[in-house]
Amino acid sequence: MELIARIKKAVKQYDDTHNFTCDICGREVFANERICAPCEKLLPFNNALVCPYCGRRVKEEGACIECKASPLGVKKARSVFVHEGEAARLVVRFKRGEKYLYRTIIDTMVPLFDAEFSFVQGIVAVPMTEKAEKKRGYNQARLLAEELSARTGVLFLDALRKEKETPSQKFLSRRDREKNLEGCFRADRALVKGKKLLIIDDTLTTGATISAVAAALKRAKAGELYALTVTSVENKTPFGIPEE
């Protein structure tokens, strides 16, 4: 089955916790749906032209400007959606307290995982500082990574720590964001050494966070690295893009 068709089918599988309303518009839905048909049509699947490295939508075939200037540090990153419209709203709501949305979001990620990353030996999540996680009550990336692990049988490795808070990343290029993030992350060598790993995050903006996490994993002697996010920002310009 074609990938997008599989993603659409996945969001139609429900469990007992389903509340029979659409996770996007709140309208009543059939028992086997989480997203209603009209909303599904509005979702911006990232299935057109993408940069082969960071997976962001591009206008012309080939690597995006930022991957040309500074490699991402993972072999390949992919996202289910472009960070716009209903997909962006879904991710923002998920990050701002609507924790239950992880189920719907992970439904859309499993088919992409199966198609692109089923060979990895472990799943890791972009960490938050302890303080930031306490404030929000959960780490959205970790929630997705753990659920992806449960669905696919690939081990979740609690191997990453974020040790200091970073200043706002808004309006910064990948390079400047990378400078901000230098030395923020630490990986547990005993858990990651020699393993092919998939890094999970909610949104890939410039890729600086993924890049900094990849650098920490490499310092801990991890093997090949890959990344999967729910959304990624279209590569138009390094400035004026939303915060990661």
**59 vs 136, which CB is nearer to Zn ion?**
59
Complex with Zn ion: residue 64 or 154, whichever CB lies closer: 64
Q: For residue 241, give both structure tokens.
A: 């893009």
Gap between the Cα atoms of 237 and 243, Å rounded? 14
Name the residue nearer to Zn ion (CB basis): 154 or 208: 208
From the CA atom positions of the chain, what is the Rg in Å? Answer: 17
CB of 16 to Zn ion, least distance (A): 21
User: Does the protein bind Zn ion through residue 228 (CB under 5 A)?
Assistant: no
Two tokens, residue 81: 């959606």
Residues 6-25 that bind Zn ion (CB under 5 A): 22, 24-25
CA dist 205 to 12, 116, 117, 173, 189, Å?
29, 20, 21, 10, 27
Segment 206 to 225, residues that bind Zn ion, using CB under 5 A = none
Interacting stretch for Zn ion, rule CB under 5 A, among 41-49, 63-71, 169-177, 194-202? 63-71
25 in Cβ contact with 36 (< 8 Å): yes
Of 83, 111, 70, 121, the C-alpha closest to 204 is: 83
Q: Is 65 in the site for Zn ion (CB under 5 A)?
A: no
**51 sits near Zn ion (criterion: CB under 5 A):** yes
The answer to whether residue 53 forms part of the interface with Zn ion (CB under 5 A) is yes
